[in-house]
Structure 1
C-alpha cells in the first residue's frame, strides 16, 4: 500500500500481522494461553511494544473525561497483559474498561513505539465474546444485529425504512418531544434531507468515459445517506471519473471487527475482495471507518496465506474520496459562501493519516471561511455502536463538541463519516445553532454546482 494508508500495513507487518494463527501473530504458538479464545488473542509482541510513556493520555477521549488510568490506552494494555499473565481475571470490570474504549486510535497517531492499539483492542474484544461476562445476552443481541441485520442488505433496508420515514415526517418535532430521554437523543440525530437509499450509479446522464472508479457503498451509508452517495457520484464525475458500483460488494466489516467478531469480519473482507477483483480502477470510499477497514484487510487476513496477496492488492486500490481528489491536479472551480468547521473523522485522521486533503479542498472554494474548533480531531463519541453501548460517555463527548461549535458559530459543520454526521446533528441542536451538517462531498457538490452554473 502506498501513501498514508501504508502506515497501518507496515506497522502490522512489523509484528506479524493480526492473524488468527499463533506463529503468524507474534509468538502466540507454544505458550500456554490464559485467553478463552487463544487463536484470536492479543499478540504478546503487540502488548510488549507499550513502554508506558504516557504520551497517549492526552490523546485519549475517555481518559480526558475520566482521568482514570484504566480508561487510557496504556491502562487497557496493562489489563490485557495482566490477563495474559494470569494475574487478573477477564471479569466484568476489565471488560467494562475495554468496552468504554472508542477505538478512535488517536493514541496510535502519537505513540512513539508504534503500538498497534486498534489491533490489540479488536483481539481483546474477541476474548470478551468468548468469555462469560455478566451481560452475555446483550453481547449476543449485538452480534445478532451486526450479522443478521447490518450485514444483510435486504434486512437492513427493511429495518431502516421506518427510520427514514420518521426522519422526514412533518410531525417529527412533536414526536421527538414525546419520546423518553435516550430515544429522544437518538431521534434528534437523524438526517432529514437524505432522500431515498442509494441503489446504484444512475444510468441516465451517467458519464461513459473517463478514469474508471469503483464506489464503495457500504451498509448504513447506502440506506441512510443516499444523497451523500449521489453527491459523491456527481463530484467524481466532475473530476473526470467514470463511476461504477458493483452490486456484489458487502458491508466492510469494521463494526464486526471492533466488536471482536473477527471471524465474521474476515468473511465480509473475503467477499469484498472477490467482488472488486472483477473490477478496475481505484476503490473510492466516502466513509472514514469503511476506508480504514478496507485498507487494513491485509492485517485482518494476515494468517490466511491464500488471501494475503489478494488482500494487499485490493487494499492498494482503496482511496478516501479526499485522497483521490487530491491526486487529480486541477479540479472544478467552486463557491461556498459559508463559515465552515471541518471535523476530523477519527479513522480518517488517526488511522489513514488524512488531515490536510479535506481542508485543502475546502480552502480552494471561493467564499469558504475555514475555522478550526477546539478538539476538531478528538472523537465525537459516535464510534459505531458506541452511542448505544456507552450512552453516558458518548453524550459527554457530544456535549464538548456542542460547546466548541457554540464558540465558533459556523454556518456548516463538515465531516467525512456517517456516525460523526449523526452525532454532529445532535451537537448542533444542543448548541442552539442553525448550522448545517454536511458530508465533505455534499459541500463540494454544492460548491462546484455554484461554480459551473449547474
Structure 2
C-alpha cells in the first residue's frame, strides 16, 4: 500500500508528479539512450529510471542503493528528451532525482561530499581554480610530457591523455580587451573553459570581430552552475545563476557561449529559478539572451580550411539546445573542408561533465565506440563545441592510434578566416 506522502528526502526539489506522468512508456527513448545501447538493460534506460522515480514518488519504494546506482549511471545527455513524443522533461527529472541523492544518498555519502566540496570550492571559485589548473597547463606544454605518459597506467593514463596537446594562456572575465560600452554582445567565459581553453575564447572573439560583432568579457560573471545542477546541488547552482544574472543583465546584446553545457544550463535559468519569485522573471529574460556561439554566424562569411573534418555533436547542443545543422553548415561553407559523418555523431562520448571521473567504466565504453569510429573514418580534424567532449576526444584519438587534431568549432572558423592567429 502506498504511503500518504512521497518518500523524497528533499521534497522541494523532487521530480514532480506532473513531469513523471508525461512518460507513457512507449519505449522510443531506448535506442537513443547511450547506457541502454551499451547494457541492453531496461533499468539503464530513461523509461526505467523514470519508473523508479515514480515508485519513490508514489511511496511504493524507498530510495535504495540500487535505484541510486541506476540514476547515477545516467549521463544526462538528454538524447531521450529530444526524441520523446510526449515531451518528457527528462533533464529536469534527473536533476531532481540527483538532488535527492545529494540530500540523502543511500550509499557513497563521503564520495558525494568530496565532489560537492570540490565543485563548490574549486570549480566555482576562480582564484582557487586558476591555482589548481596552472600545473596542468604547465605540464600539457612541457617537453617531458611524452616521457611521463609512457610511465602512467590505468585511469591516470586516461586522465593524462584527455589534456589537450597544447593549453594556451587563460582567458578570464574582465573587459576582454574590448570597450564594454561599445560592445555588441557579451562573451561568457565560464570556469574550466576560461582556464583550460582560453584559446577558444580568443578564437571566438576574432571570429565574431570578423563578422562585425564586438564581444566584451564583462566582469563579475563566473561558473554557470551546470556541473553542480547535474550532480544534484541545485541550491548552489541557483546561487551561481543569480550571480551571473546580476553581473550580466545590465549589458546589452546576446550572451555568446561557446560551451554547449554552459549554454544549455544558462538558457534554462528560468526553469532553475522558476520558484524564486524575485528572480524568476529576470532569469527568463536572461535565458532568452543566451546564444550558442554558432547561432549568430552566417555560413556565407567564407574562409578556407583544407582537410577532412568529422563534426561530433555535443549532447547539450544537439539534444538540449536542439542545434544540429548550423555548425555543420558553417563547416561545409569553408573552401577545402571535406565533411565526414561518422555513425553516432550525436551519441554521447562519455565525458558528461565529471562523469568520466565518477563512472570510468561506462565512460570508457562510450569513448571506445568513438575511437573505433575515428579509426575507421580517419578524419584529419575532429570538431566539437564543448570542453568535456574536447578532452574525451583527445583520449579517443590516442586510443584510435590516428593522427587527428581535436578542435573547437570556433578554432576551425578562426583558422579558416585568418593566417594571423594567436593561441
Give the alignment's TM-score, normalised by structure 1. 0.89
Q: Give the corresponding residue for 2:370.
A: 401
| CA offset digits 1:257-312 (Å, max 9, x no partner) | 00010010000001111111121110000000000000000000011121111011
**Secondary structure, aligned partner of 1:340:** strand
Q: Is residue 7–residue 63 contact of structure 2 (8 Å, CA) maintained in 1?
A: no
| CA offset digits 1:357-399 (Å, max 9, x no partner) | 1000001100000110011000000000000110000000000
| CA offset digits 1:392-433 (Å, max 9, x no partner) | 000000000001111111000000000000000011111111
Instruction: Measure, in 2, the Cα distance between the counterparts of 1:171 and 1:194.
Output: 15
**Secondary structure, aligned partner of 2:101:** helix
Q: Give the corresponding residue for 1:410.
A: 379
Are 1:426 and 2:398 matched, yes or no? no
Q: Give the corresponding residue for 2:416.
A: 447
Shift of 1:32: 2.1
Q: Is residue 210–residue 240 contact of structure 1 (8 Å, CA) maintained in 2?
A: no
Q: Is residue 349–residue 363 contact of structure 2 (8 Å, CA) maintained in 1?
A: yes
Q: Aligned to 1:81, which of 54, 59, 68?
A: 54
Q: Aligned to 1:292, which of 247, 264, 273?
A: 264
**Secondary structure, aligned partner of 2:218:** coil
Q: Aligned to 2:355, which of 386, 390, 398?
A: 386
- Unaligned runs of 5+ residues in structure 1 are 1-30
Q: Give the corresponding residue for 1:242.
A: 214
Are 1:224 and 2:193 matched, yes or no? no
Shift of 1:132: 4.1
Are 1:266 and 2:248 matched, yes or no? no
Distance 1:443 1:207, change over 3 A: farther
Instruction: Measure, in 1, the Cα distance between the counterparts of 2:383 and 2:198.
Output: 17
Are 1:189 and 2:162 matched, yes or no? yes
Where does 1:248-397 land on structure 2 (aligned, <5 Å)? Answer: 248-326=220-298, 330-331=300-301, 333-397=302-366
Distance 1:132 1:357, change over 3 A: closer
Higher mean displacement: 419-428 or 305-314? 305-314
**Secondary structure, aligned partner of 1:337:** strand
Instruction: Measure, in 2, the Cα distance between the counterparts of 1:437 and 1:132.
Output: 37
Q: Is residue 207–residue 237 contact of structure 1 (8 Å, CA) maintained in 2?
A: no
Instruction: Measure, in 2, the Cα distance between the counterparts of 1:207 and 1:138.
Output: 44
**Secondary structure, aligned partner of 2:382:** strand
Instruction: Measure, in 1, the Cα distance between the counterparts of 2:181 and 2:251.
Output: 16
| CA offset digits 1:304-343 (Å, max 9, x no partner) | 12111101111111100100114xx842x20000100000
Shift of 1:33: 2.7
Higher mean displacement: 174-183 or 356-365? 174-183
- Unaligned runs of 5+ residues in structure 2 are none
Instruction: Measure, in 2, the Cα distance between the counterparts of 1:282 and 1:429.
Output: 37
Q: Aligned to 2:88, which of 115, 126, 135?
A: 115
Q: Give the corresponding residue for 1:68.
A: 41
**Secondary structure, aligned partner of 1:322:** coil
Distance 1:375 1:131, change over 3 A: same
Higher mean displacement: 413-422 or 302-311? 302-311
Instruction: Measure, in 2, the Cα distance between the counterparts of 1:388 and 1:122.
Output: 19
Instruction: Measure, in 1, the Cα distance between the counterparts of 2:252 and 2:87.
Output: 33
Q: Is residue 140–residue 167 contact of structure 2 (8 Å, CA) maintained in 1?
A: no
Shift of 1:208: 8.9
Q: Is residue 338–residue 412 contact of structure 1 (8 Å, CA) maintained in 2?
A: yes
Instruction: Measure, in 1, the Cα distance between the counterparts of 2:91 and 2:412.
Output: 31
What is the RMSD of the two structures over their aligned residues, measured on CA atoms? 1.6
Give the alignment's TM-score, normalised by structure 2. 0.96
Distance 1:168 1:49, change over 3 A: same
Shift of 1:201: 5.2
| CA offset digits 1:53-92 (Å, max 9, x no partner) | 0000000000000001000000000000111122222111
Number of residue equivalences:
417
Q: Aligned to 2:31, which of 49, 58, 69?
A: 58
Q: Is residue 194–residue 228 contact of structure 1 (8 Å, CA) maintained in 2?
A: no
Q: Is residue 201–residue 233 contact of structure 1 (8 Å, CA) maintained in 2?
A: no
Point out 4+ residue stretches in structure 1 off by more than 4 angstroms: 206-211
Q: Is residue 287–residue 417 contact of structure 1 (8 Å, CA) maintained in 2?
A: yes
Higher mean displacement: 175-184 or 351-360? 175-184
Instruction: Measure, in 1, the Cα distance between the counterparts of 2:292 and 2:328.
Output: 14
Q: Give the corresponding residue for 1:177.
A: 150
Q: Aligned to 1:90, which of 63, 71, 74?
A: 63
